[in-house]
Amino acid sequence: MATSGQPGPGDKVTGGMHPVRQPSRWKRNLILLTLLGLVLWLGWTWRGLREEALVGAAYGARVGCVCRYVSQRPMDTCEGDLKVVNLKGAGRWVSLSEDAQTRTVKASVPLLAKQSADFDPARGCRLEPWQD
């Protein structure tokens, strides 16, 4: 079917003779429906992701503290220990940092959880209490 060159109801004319087609409604609705589905899925799984991240961060802080202050190894090798364990879920994004003055190792999962473990020569590595 040939077109007459006249703009249709969904077209915009921009200075020239050729109409510019607007995105169709079904594409817009599909994108909105996909975004809505993503938001619903994230809301449904948020608590589970947060719990996995908290457990992963606590495990990472404890392992990092023992690695750094009991075994007296460099911090970069301690992060390698976490990669070997192959934590599942949100726990796989654990990153470690240390505060050498207070002998504390902090583990965090971005946007979800953080945990720290303190080293005491008499008691070893202790996690900070969890806060819900």
Residues 75-93 have pLDDT tens digits of: 888 888 887 777 777 777 8
Cβ(128)–Cβ(118) under 8 Å? yes
Q: Show the CA angle centred on residue 54, arms to residues 53 and 59, nearest 5°.
A: 95
Cβ(109)–Cβ(90) under 8 Å? yes
Q: Show the CA angle centred on residue 94, arms to residues 92 and 99, nearest 5°.
A: 165
Average pLDDT over residues 11-27: 66
Residue 119 pLDDT > 90: yes
Residue 100 pLDDT > 60: yes
pLDDT interval class at 105 (50, 70, 90): very high
Which residue bears the tokens 């806060």? 131
